Amino acid sequence: MSTMLHEFFQYDFIRIALVAILLMTPMYGMVGTLVVEKKMAYFSDALGHSALTGIAVGVICQVVDSQVAMIGYAVVFALLLNQIRFRGKASTDTIISVCASVSLAAGLAILSRGGNFSNYASLLVGDVLSMSRKDLVMLLILLVIAVIYYIFCVNASLAVTIHPTLAKAKGYRVRLLENLFAVLVAVMVTLSIRWIGILLINALLILPAAASRNIASNMRQHLCLSIVFSVLSGLLGLFLSYFVNVATGPVIVIFAGILYFATLVYSAFVRE
Protein backbone atom coordinates (compact mmCIF):
# COMPACT_ATOMS: atom_id res chain seq x y z
CA MET A 1 0.00 0.00 0.00
CA SER A 2 2.81 2.42 0.91
CA THR A 3 4.49 1.66 -2.43
CA MET A 4 1.29 2.51 -4.30
CA LEU A 5 0.90 5.78 -2.40
CA HIS A 6 4.54 6.69 -3.04
CA GLU A 7 4.07 6.03 -6.75
CA PHE A 8 0.84 8.04 -6.72
CA PHE A 9 2.35 11.16 -5.12
CA GLN A 10 5.70 11.22 -6.92
CA TYR A 11 4.34 13.15 -9.91
CA ASP A 12 3.73 16.89 -9.75
CA PHE A 13 0.62 16.76 -11.96
CA ILE A 14 -0.97 14.25 -9.56
CA ARG A 15 -0.32 16.50 -6.57
CA ILE A 16 -1.84 19.46 -8.43
CA ALA A 17 -4.87 17.36 -9.39
CA LEU A 18 -5.28 16.25 -5.76
CA VAL A 19 -5.30 19.84 -4.50
CA ALA A 20 -7.76 20.73 -7.26
CA ILE A 21 -10.09 17.93 -6.16
CA LEU A 22 -9.88 19.15 -2.56
CA LEU A 23 -10.84 22.67 -3.70
CA MET A 24 -13.42 21.77 -6.32
CA THR A 25 -15.45 19.02 -4.65
CA PRO A 26 -16.38 20.89 -1.42
CA MET A 27 -17.52 23.81 -3.55
CA TYR A 28 -19.71 21.58 -5.70
CA GLY A 29 -21.04 19.72 -2.68
CA MET A 30 -22.00 23.00 -1.04
CA VAL A 31 -23.59 24.76 -4.02
CA GLY A 32 -25.19 21.50 -5.16
CA THR A 33 -27.40 21.46 -2.07
CA LEU A 34 -29.02 24.71 -3.19
CA VAL A 35 -29.37 23.48 -6.77
CA VAL A 36 -31.16 20.37 -5.51
CA GLU A 37 -33.36 22.33 -3.09
CA LYS A 38 -34.29 24.77 -5.85
CA LYS A 39 -35.10 21.85 -8.19
CA MET A 40 -32.71 23.27 -10.80
CA ALA A 41 -30.96 20.04 -11.75
CA TYR A 42 -31.17 20.94 -15.44
CA PHE A 43 -29.63 24.35 -14.85
CA SER A 44 -25.96 23.35 -14.59
CA ASP A 45 -26.41 20.86 -17.43
CA ALA A 46 -27.74 23.63 -19.66
CA LEU A 47 -24.85 25.90 -18.68
CA GLY A 48 -22.37 23.13 -19.44
CA HIS A 49 -23.81 22.61 -22.90
CA SER A 50 -23.85 26.36 -23.50
CA ALA A 51 -20.06 26.38 -23.09
CA LEU A 52 -19.71 25.18 -26.68
CA THR A 53 -21.80 28.11 -27.83
CA GLY A 54 -19.60 30.41 -25.73
CA ILE A 55 -16.53 29.11 -27.54
CA ALA A 56 -18.32 29.56 -30.87
CA VAL A 57 -19.17 33.17 -30.01
CA GLY A 58 -15.55 33.67 -29.00
CA VAL A 59 -14.39 32.32 -32.37
CA ILE A 60 -16.74 34.68 -34.22
CA CYS A 61 -15.66 37.66 -32.09
CA GLN A 62 -11.99 36.59 -32.29
CA VAL A 63 -11.59 36.26 -28.51
CA VAL A 64 -8.12 34.84 -27.84
CA ASP A 65 -8.94 33.12 -24.52
CA SER A 66 -11.77 30.60 -25.03
CA GLN A 67 -12.39 30.40 -21.28
CA VAL A 68 -13.20 34.12 -21.14
CA ALA A 69 -15.70 33.59 -23.96
CA MET A 70 -17.24 30.59 -22.16
CA ILE A 71 -17.64 32.42 -18.85
CA GLY A 72 -19.02 35.57 -20.47
CA TYR A 73 -21.57 33.67 -22.52
CA ALA A 74 -22.56 31.41 -19.60
CA VAL A 75 -23.22 34.40 -17.32
CA VAL A 76 -25.37 36.11 -19.96
CA PHE A 77 -27.13 32.80 -20.71
CA ALA A 78 -27.84 32.16 -17.01
CA LEU A 79 -29.27 35.65 -16.49
CA LEU A 80 -31.37 35.30 -19.64
CA LEU A 81 -32.76 31.99 -18.38
CA ASN A 82 -33.72 33.66 -15.13
CA GLN A 83 -35.47 36.53 -16.88
CA ILE A 84 -37.45 34.12 -19.05
CA ARG A 85 -38.27 32.04 -15.97
CA PHE A 86 -39.48 35.10 -14.04
CA ARG A 87 -41.73 36.27 -16.86
CA GLY A 88 -42.77 32.99 -18.51
CA LYS A 89 -45.65 30.68 -17.71
CA ALA A 90 -43.86 27.45 -18.64
CA SER A 91 -42.08 25.37 -16.01
CA THR A 92 -38.43 26.05 -15.23
CA ASP A 93 -37.31 22.68 -16.60
CA THR A 94 -39.13 23.32 -19.88
CA ILE A 95 -37.58 26.76 -20.31
CA ILE A 96 -34.09 25.52 -19.51
CA SER A 97 -34.40 22.51 -21.82
CA VAL A 98 -35.60 24.57 -24.79
CA CYS A 99 -32.96 27.29 -24.38
CA ALA A 100 -30.16 24.78 -23.80
CA SER A 101 -31.09 22.73 -26.86
CA VAL A 102 -31.17 25.76 -29.15
CA SER A 103 -27.94 27.15 -27.69
CA LEU A 104 -26.12 23.82 -28.00
CA ALA A 105 -27.31 23.33 -31.58
CA ALA A 106 -26.06 26.80 -32.53
CA GLY A 107 -22.68 26.16 -30.93
CA LEU A 108 -22.27 22.78 -32.63
CA ALA A 109 -23.25 24.24 -36.00
CA ILE A 110 -20.67 27.02 -35.74
CA LEU A 111 -17.82 24.90 -34.36
CA SER A 112 -18.36 22.04 -36.82
CA ARG A 113 -18.02 24.33 -39.82
CA GLY A 114 -15.12 23.08 -41.89
CA GLY A 115 -14.82 19.88 -39.86
CA ASN A 116 -12.99 21.55 -36.97
CA PHE A 117 -15.08 20.18 -34.08
CA SER A 118 -12.39 17.60 -33.24
CA ASN A 119 -10.35 20.49 -31.81
CA TYR A 120 -12.94 20.86 -29.04
CA ALA A 121 -13.76 17.19 -28.40
CA SER A 122 -11.55 17.13 -25.27
CA LEU A 123 -14.06 19.42 -23.54
CA LEU A 124 -16.66 16.65 -23.54
CA VAL A 125 -14.94 14.59 -20.80
CA GLY A 126 -12.27 16.99 -19.53
CA ASP A 127 -8.90 16.21 -17.95
CA VAL A 128 -8.27 17.10 -14.31
CA LEU A 129 -4.64 15.97 -14.68
CA SER A 130 -3.95 18.87 -17.05
CA MET A 131 -4.42 21.52 -14.36
CA SER A 132 -1.75 24.09 -13.52
CA ARG A 133 -0.95 26.03 -10.36
CA LYS A 134 -2.63 29.07 -11.92
CA ASP A 135 -5.83 27.02 -12.18
CA LEU A 136 -5.56 26.19 -8.47
CA VAL A 137 -5.50 29.89 -7.61
CA MET A 138 -8.68 30.46 -9.64
CA LEU A 139 -10.36 27.52 -7.89
CA LEU A 140 -9.36 28.83 -4.47
CA ILE A 141 -10.80 32.28 -5.24
CA LEU A 142 -14.02 30.70 -6.51
CA LEU A 143 -14.28 28.49 -3.41
CA VAL A 144 -13.94 31.54 -1.16
CA ILE A 145 -16.67 33.34 -3.13
CA ALA A 146 -18.95 30.30 -2.88
CA VAL A 147 -18.40 30.07 0.90
CA ILE A 148 -19.15 33.79 1.32
CA TYR A 149 -22.33 33.43 -0.72
CA TYR A 150 -23.42 30.43 1.32
CA ILE A 151 -22.75 32.14 4.66
CA PHE A 152 -24.59 35.35 3.85
CA CYS A 153 -27.24 34.29 1.34
CA VAL A 154 -28.24 30.69 2.04
CA ASN A 155 -31.16 31.47 4.38
CA ALA A 156 -32.55 34.15 2.07
CA SER A 157 -32.05 31.92 -0.97
CA LEU A 158 -33.92 29.04 0.67
CA ALA A 159 -36.71 31.40 1.73
CA VAL A 160 -37.04 32.58 -1.86
CA THR A 161 -37.18 28.96 -3.01
CA ILE A 162 -39.82 27.86 -0.48
CA HIS A 163 -42.14 30.88 -0.71
CA PRO A 164 -41.07 33.68 -3.11
CA THR A 165 -44.04 35.93 -2.32
CA LEU A 166 -43.50 35.73 1.44
CA ALA A 167 -39.76 36.25 0.99
CA LYS A 168 -40.43 39.38 -1.05
CA ALA A 169 -42.85 40.62 1.62
CA LYS A 170 -40.09 40.20 4.22
CA GLY A 171 -37.82 42.46 2.20
CA TYR A 172 -35.67 39.91 0.39
CA ARG A 173 -34.61 41.01 -3.09
CA VAL A 174 -35.81 37.89 -4.86
CA ARG A 175 -34.50 38.57 -8.35
CA LEU A 176 -31.13 39.77 -7.10
CA LEU A 177 -30.65 36.62 -5.03
CA GLU A 178 -31.69 34.37 -7.90
CA ASN A 179 -29.42 36.19 -10.34
CA LEU A 180 -26.45 36.04 -7.97
CA PHE A 181 -26.94 32.31 -7.58
CA ALA A 182 -27.26 31.85 -11.35
CA VAL A 183 -24.01 33.75 -11.95
CA LEU A 184 -22.20 31.73 -9.26
CA VAL A 185 -23.27 28.43 -10.83
CA ALA A 186 -22.42 29.70 -14.32
CA VAL A 187 -18.87 30.65 -13.36
CA MET A 188 -18.36 27.41 -11.39
CA VAL A 189 -19.51 25.24 -14.26
CA THR A 190 -17.58 26.99 -17.03
CA LEU A 191 -14.35 27.14 -15.02
CA SER A 192 -14.54 23.40 -14.33
CA ILE A 193 -15.49 22.19 -17.81
CA ARG A 194 -11.89 21.79 -19.02
CA TRP A 195 -11.18 19.49 -16.06
CA ILE A 196 -14.45 17.58 -15.59
CA GLY A 197 -16.08 17.79 -19.01
CA ILE A 198 -19.33 19.06 -20.47
CA LEU A 199 -21.00 15.65 -20.30
CA LEU A 200 -20.19 15.09 -16.61
CA ILE A 201 -20.26 18.50 -14.96
CA ASN A 202 -23.92 18.31 -14.02
CA ALA A 203 -23.45 14.92 -12.34
CA LEU A 204 -20.66 16.25 -10.13
CA LEU A 205 -22.91 19.08 -8.98
CA ILE A 206 -26.10 17.07 -8.48
CA LEU A 207 -25.21 13.52 -7.39
CA PRO A 208 -23.48 14.22 -4.02
CA ALA A 209 -26.22 16.66 -3.01
CA ALA A 210 -28.95 14.25 -4.11
CA ALA A 211 -27.27 11.40 -2.21
CA SER A 212 -27.08 13.57 0.88
CA ARG A 213 -30.73 14.53 0.61
CA ASN A 214 -31.70 10.85 0.65
CA ILE A 215 -30.54 10.45 4.26
CA ALA A 216 -30.27 13.96 5.73
CA SER A 217 -32.92 15.03 8.23
CA ASN A 218 -32.14 18.77 8.14
CA MET A 219 -30.33 21.36 6.04
CA ARG A 220 -27.12 21.22 8.09
CA GLN A 221 -26.85 17.47 7.61
CA HIS A 222 -27.68 17.92 3.94
CA LEU A 223 -24.79 20.36 3.53
CA CYS A 224 -22.22 18.37 5.52
CA LEU A 225 -23.02 15.02 3.92
CA SER A 226 -23.07 16.55 0.45
CA ILE A 227 -19.56 17.92 0.94
CA VAL A 228 -18.34 14.60 2.38
CA PHE A 229 -19.82 12.61 -0.50
CA SER A 230 -18.41 15.02 -3.07
CA VAL A 231 -14.88 14.96 -1.61
CA LEU A 232 -14.97 11.18 -1.17
CA SER A 233 -16.07 10.66 -4.78
CA GLY A 234 -13.34 12.99 -6.01
CA LEU A 235 -10.52 11.35 -4.05
CA LEU A 236 -11.57 7.78 -4.86
CA GLY A 237 -12.08 8.70 -8.52
CA LEU A 238 -8.65 10.33 -8.81
CA PHE A 239 -6.89 7.43 -7.07
CA LEU A 240 -8.60 4.64 -9.01
CA SER A 241 -8.42 6.36 -12.40
CA TYR A 242 -4.64 6.71 -12.05
CA PHE A 243 -4.05 3.01 -11.39
CA VAL A 244 -6.50 1.66 -13.99
CA ASN A 245 -5.45 4.30 -16.54
CA VAL A 246 -8.85 5.77 -17.41
CA ALA A 247 -10.21 9.33 -17.50
CA THR A 248 -10.66 10.78 -14.00
CA GLY A 249 -13.96 12.62 -14.51
CA PRO A 250 -16.05 9.55 -15.40
CA VAL A 251 -14.66 7.56 -12.45
CA ILE A 252 -15.51 10.39 -10.03
CA VAL A 253 -19.06 10.43 -11.35
CA ILE A 254 -19.31 6.62 -11.07
CA PHE A 255 -18.38 6.78 -7.38
CA ALA A 256 -20.86 9.63 -6.84
CA GLY A 257 -23.52 7.51 -8.53
CA ILE A 258 -22.70 4.53 -6.30
CA LEU A 259 -23.10 6.73 -3.22
CA TYR A 260 -26.43 8.02 -4.52
CA PHE A 261 -27.88 4.55 -5.05
CA ALA A 262 -26.45 3.34 -1.73
CA THR A 263 -28.17 6.16 0.16
CA LEU A 264 -31.35 5.62 -1.85
CA VAL A 265 -31.44 1.96 -0.80
CA TYR A 266 -30.61 2.90 2.79
CA SER A 267 -33.40 5.48 2.98
CA ALA A 268 -35.92 3.15 1.35
CA PHE A 269 -35.23 -0.03 3.30
CA VAL A 270 -32.76 0.24 6.18
CA ARG A 271 -34.00 3.48 7.75
CA GLU A 272 -37.62 2.39 7.40
**In the structure, what pLDDT confidence band is assigned to residue 7 with cuts at 50, 70 and 90?**
low
Range of 62-71, 208-217, 240-249 with top mean pLDDT: 208-217
Residue 228 has pLDDT above 90, yes or no: yes
Alpha helices in 38-91 (DSSP H): 41-60, 66-87
**Whose CA is closest to 173, among 186, 182, 164?**
164
- Using an 8 Å Cβ cutoff, are 72 and 54 in contact? yes
Q: Cα-flanking dihedrals φ and ψ of residue 217, to 5°?
A: -105, -10
Quote the mean pLDDT of the chain: 85
CA dist 202 and 100 (Å) reads: 13
- CB within 8 Å of 197: residues ≥ 6 apart: 123, 124, 125, 126, 249
CATH topology of domain 2-270: ABC transporter involved in vitamin B12 uptake, BtuC (1.10.3470)
pLDDT in tens, 89-123: 666 677 778 888 888 888 888 888 766 666 677 77
Give the pLDDT confidence score for residue 6 in this predicted structure: 65
Mean pLDDT, to the nearest integer, of 184-190? 91
Predicted TM-score (pTM) of the model is 0.88
- For residue 77, give the nearest of 100, 108, 107, 105 by alpha carbon: 100
Identify the sign of the CA torsion 194, 199, 205, 208. Answer: negative
Question: Domain segments of the chain: what residues?
Answer: 2-270
Q: What is the pLDDT of residue 272?
A: 57
